[in-house]
Amino acid sequence: MSAEKVQSSARELTAQVEAYFASIDRSDIAATLATMTPDCAIEYVTDGSRFEGRDAGVKAYFEKRNLNVLKSWHGNFWHVADPSNARVTTRFDVRRTDRGAAERTGDNVNIFEFEGSRIRRIAVWRGAGRQSR
- Residue 2 has what pLDDT? 38
pTM of the entire structure?
A: 0.90
Q: What is the pLDDT of residues 87-101, one digit of tens each?
A: 999 999 999 999 999
Q: What is the pLDDT of residues 30-61, one digit of tens each?
A: 999 999 999 999 999 999 999 999 999 999 99
Residue ranges and CATH numbers for the domains of the chain are: 10-131 (3.10.450.50)
Which three-class secondary structure string do you get for the chain? Answer: CCCCCCCCCHHHHHHHHHHHHHHHHCCCHHHHHHCEEEEEEEEECCCCEEEEHHHHHHHHHHHHHHHHEEEEEEEEEEEEEEHHHCEEEEEEEEEEEECCCCCEEEEEEEEEEEECCEEEEEEEECCCCEECC
Indicate whether 129 pLDDT > 90: no
